[in-house]
A = this chain, B = another copy of it.
Amino acid sequence: MKIRFFIFFCLMACLSMPMRGADNLTLKSPDGRMEVTFYLLDGSPHYELMRDGKPVVLASRMGFELEWRDDLAHAFVLKDVQRSTFDEVWHPVWGEEANIRNHYNEMLVTIEQPVGSVASMDHSTEKRATVMQIRFRLYDDGLGFRYEFPMKYNGVDNALVCFWFKEELTEFALTGNHTAWWIPGDYDTQEYNYTESRLSQIDSLYEKGHEHGGWPWTDFSRTGVQTALQMKTDDGLYINIHEAATLDYPTMHLNLEKPFTFRTWLCPDAAGYKGRMQAPCHTPWRTVMVCDKATDVLRSRLILNLNDPCVLKDVSWIHPVKYMGVWWEMISGKSTWNYTNDFPSVKLGETDFVHAKPNGTHGANNANVRRYIDFAAKHGFDALLIEGWNIGWEDWYGKQKDFVFDFLTPYPDFDLPALNKYAHEKGIRLIMHHESSASTVNYERWMEKAYTMMNRYGYDAVKSGYVGTIIPYAEGHYSQPINNHYHYAIVEAAKHHIMVNAHEAVRPTGLCRTWPNMIGNESAMGTEFRERIHPGHTTILPFTRLQGGPMDYTPGIFEPDMGKIVPWGKKMQHTICNQLGLYVTFYSPLQMAADFPEHYEPYMDAFQFIKDVAVDWDTSIYIAAEPGAYIVTARKPKISSLNKAADGLATLPDGKKGVISSASQFVYGLTNQTSLSGLTPKDTWYIGGITDEKAREFAIKLDFLTPGKTYDAIIYTDGKDASGIPNDSYNPYSYTITTKKVNSKTVLKLKMAPCGGFAVSIRERQ
């Protein structure tokens, strides 16, 4: 096989290299290890990518098929090339590190279809040349390129003004039968388990890839996969294909059209088009990350760097959030979103909820919400999400009803003003919930009123949801019009100083750099898919889903045996220490402690880690990682963010002073809830580790600690009898907490049980 492959590769190289012609344009990365080449092959644009002189992407076609005119894939001549270098350090509002370097070399290639070389049904445009530009940015860890369509070129109008894509033709011709971690291509859901396979196996694993998937789902090819697609070569190179800054454009999937060659597969709109363009405009960036080590993939900021800087002048209202929720009760089956069982058919404005008979299982009732507020406040959380607060849940699901929710009217047992007042008095913000039921039409009709009501009562964050079949009908979740809706919701929310955490929306592509009020997304299988998630799932997501932005994974389930809640409940495949590890291995500025208060009460010593851990970081160190197997990460909190979270509480609408978060207490060494003023934060680190179904042991060098300083470490590890595998040995509850004096020379040896993990809090000694 290897010999055969070698011959194949030589043939490929022979076929492509000599045909490049004399117009080869090359660009090297700042460190000189990466090189991208662009050329026209018989008028057709192509690119190749090399690392250390070896091909990563072979000769790959570029361009588009268009409606009403010839394609943008032939008859091109080279017009111009411009080169530049860029190097800056920027500071995200929140993130995995306080300082991000954006360093690349750029090449802007202008190509033209001359007048008369292509046909168009719009005869007015046939008299003008067609100009397309391709902008390459080459980083040390990867390539980004995008297509640009100027309105004018050299003072002359471009033939392309308004035009529609039937297909994007961009290829990624890989060099071999790499290992890939993939989920099936789908226009409506990313909620799949990852499949690890060779590229050549994707077709035959189509059915398996769809097992336990979300709903609705809409496939397009047996060899279609989603991005970010993480791959690994037999030489140990980590290649990741994704996109960045997807705005006013459909989402990019990939289809394996030839052996080892993916072509972009855009999500069409309801009329079948894959991009409605209006010059001047450009596509999102297509990215190919290339790293020597798996940890370098986690360290890469390629996607964020390719997005535009923050457009919000005032970001003082944006802050990280550690929250709890009246949510897992409904997910687990203990409670219901709906208030009554009286109504098989609800019509808002007609159905009388005031006189309906309560079903007694409604989770979002005043007493229960107060119970959560009390617990969250006592333990220094910032916020509480409550789902099922608003009328309409009785028949909301699966009916493709348009007017399911009004986003304004609470159930009779949810006293919205009083609960907000109560929460604010205790230093807790309520998080609003807007389930759109996937009707963007209806949500947009109510959005301004809903955001305005949030402002009135002091909500500053919303979890939005897009469960079900999209309305407008025949649109998918990731088509251009619906991607535009998600962005519209972010932009309108920003006007109201509202942070957005959208679920079932398109997976992010780094837009949170530009719009940092986009503090979270789901867009993958999270905790709620408890019974379907493979143990290795959370070790893959940071390589794939999280490349585009943080995920509201909702960790922290301390009672993983759901059978103790409802008879049909299954055993979740994780230990308590695995859940603790996630708070560090999974980056998000929005972290949940998802379980019930009563499930934390027996384990308050372990719960202490969730209280202490920060959610916004100055520095992140990726100690060890392999997709599908394990991740170990260390992070140092961003102090200014902790201050801001506390400050945020101090500015509650009711004028009362909020409490200081538990994480701040840990970092500042406070034992009581007193002021931070005048205190110096302690040098603090957190380490988290998670594993798949295999037990593992890691020796962690603490060489990132400041030499000469002494630290106290609190170490949370799986107990000897711990196991997250749901067999006779299932024991997710077993853990050990030890304390230890450590310094920069310490090596911590930490074991993880099957489906387990560990967590460490480290604080500079007084």
The residues of A with any CB-CB pair to B shorter than 8 Å are 151, 157, 161-162, 164, 269-271, 273, 276, 278-280, 344-345, 347, 395, 399-402, 441, 444-445, 448, 471-475, 481, 484, 488
On whether the beta carbons of B345 and A271 are closer than 8 Å, the reply is no
Which chain B residue has the least Cβ–Cβ distance from A344? B161
Jot down 9 A-B pairs with beta carbons below 8 A, ordered by A: A161-B344, A162-B400, A271-B474, A273-B473, A441-B441, A444-B444, A472-B481, A473-B475, A473-B481
Residues of the B chain whose Cβ atoms lie less than 8 Å from the Cβ of A273: 473
Residues of the B chain whose Cβ atoms lie less than 8 Å from the Cβ of A162: 345, 395, 399-401
Which chain B residue has the least Cβ–Cβ distance from A125? B344
Shortest distance in angstroms between A485's beta carbon and chain B's nearest beta carbon?
Answer: 8
On whether the beta carbons of A345 and B472 are closer than 8 Å, the reply is no
Residues of the B chain whose Cβ atoms lie less than 8 Å from the Cβ of A401: 162, 276, 278
On whether the beta carbons of B344 and A157 are closer than 8 Å, the reply is yes
On whether the beta carbons of A402 and B481 are closer than 8 Å, the reply is yes
Residues of the B chain whose Cβ atoms lie less than 8 Å from the Cβ of A484: 402
Which chain B residue has the least Cβ–Cβ distance from A488? B445
Shortest distance in angstroms between A247's beta carbon and chain B's nearest beta carbon?
Answer: 13
On whether the beta carbons of B279 and A345 are closer than 8 Å, the reply is yes
Known: A151-B345, A402-B484. A395 touches B161 (CB 8 A): yes
Most buried by B among A273, A344, A345, A441: A345
On whether the beta carbons of B481 and A271 are closer than 8 Å, the reply is no
Question: Given known contacts A162-B400, A273-B473, A444-B444, what 7 new A-B pairs fall within 8 Å (CB)?
Answer: A162-B401, A164-B400, A270-B472, A270-B473, A276-B402, A280-B345, A474-B474
Residues of the B chain whose Cβ atoms lie less than 8 Å from the Cβ of A347: 278
Which chain B residue has the least Cβ–Cβ distance from A270? B474
A481 to B279, CA, bound (A): 31
Residues of the B chain whose Cβ atoms lie less than 8 Å from the Cβ of A164: 400
Residues of the B chain whose Cβ atoms lie less than 8 Å from the Cβ of A344: 151, 157, 161
Residues of the B chain whose Cβ atoms lie less than 8 Å from the Cβ of A488: 445
Shortest distance in angstroms between A124's beta carbon and chain B's nearest beta carbon?
Answer: 10
Residues of the B chain whose Cβ atoms lie less than 8 Å from the Cβ of A269: 473-474
On whether the beta carbons of B473 and A345 are closer than 8 Å, the reply is no
Which chain B residue has the least Cβ–Cβ distance from A448? B448
Residues of the B chain whose Cβ atoms lie less than 8 Å from the Cβ of A345: 151, 161-162, 278-280
Shortest distance in angstroms between A293's beta carbon and chain B's nearest beta carbon?
Answer: 43
A472 to B271, CA, bound (A): 9
A151 to B402, CA, bound (A): 19
Shortest distance in angstroms between A456's beta carbon and chain B's nearest beta carbon?
Answer: 17
A399 to B162, CA, bound (A): 6
